[in-house]
Amino acid sequence: MWPASERYALQMAPGGLALVQDFLNTAPPGRGRGDDLLATETSAQAWIDDALVDRPRSEVPRITSRDLLELRRLREALRRLVTAAGSSAAPASKWDIAVSATLDQAGHVQLLPLGTNWKYVGSLLLIETRAAQEADLWERLKTCRNDACTCAFFDNSAGNDQRFHDTEACGEAQGDAPALSSTTA
């Protein structure tokens, strides 16, 4: 279900935030030790098909070569946002991405993704980002401070003070890329 994060054997963020986490982890693991899952149409489509497996097939967007650049730009912007969390260095990015708002039967506002191709993916990601921000979970999504790793992980610690996705693998072995998980999907 989360093919990008499986490469690190990570604990996933709860709910829809896991989609954002996995999107961030499509980036190549540190120092060229793995592939960028958004490098080609085929790999990006494979990631989207797996990550959106719970959504109706008719909604799962088709990715073309023109979408790849936008998806990678969005990933870079979200990674910067996560890395800069808690500082004032968060970049201002404007994205022309639409969402649809509706009321459910209980009277709660529901946001639904809109758009086609990469914009549908972007719409979903921004909806999940907002939901995490509302639930005070966003600050727990982090990138590992080991420069050779930089995977996106969810900090479940009581104090939300983890700097590495795995203190043993990344905290003490600064500069060495951690062993990638041998787990296969």
Residues forming the site for Zn ion (CB under 5 A): 144, 146, 149, 165, 170
For the chain, the distance separating the N- and C-terminal CA atoms, rounded to the nearest angstrom, is 8
Residue of 40, 28, 32 lying closest to 4 (CA atoms): 28
Smallest gap, in angstroms, from Cβ of residue 8 to Zn ion? 7
C-alpha distances out from residue 7 to 51, 91, 96, 160, Å = 14, 28, 31, 23
Q: Smaller CB distance to Zn ion: residue 40 or 83?
A: 83
Give the shortest CB-144-to-Zn ion separation in angstroms.
3
**Closer by beta carbon to Zn ion, 21 or else 146:** 146
Q: How far apart are CA 69 and CA 64, in angstroms?
A: 10
Q: What is the DSSP letter of 169?
A: I
Quick one: 48 or 149, whose CB is closer to Zn ion? 149
- With a CB cutoff of 8 Å and minimum separation 6, the contacts of 78 are 20, 23, 24, 125, 129
In whole angstroms, how close is the CB of 132 to Zn ion at the nearest point?
21
Minimum CB distance to Zn ion, residue 38 (Å): 20
Judged by beta carbon, residue 137 or residue 173, the one nearer Zn ion is: 173
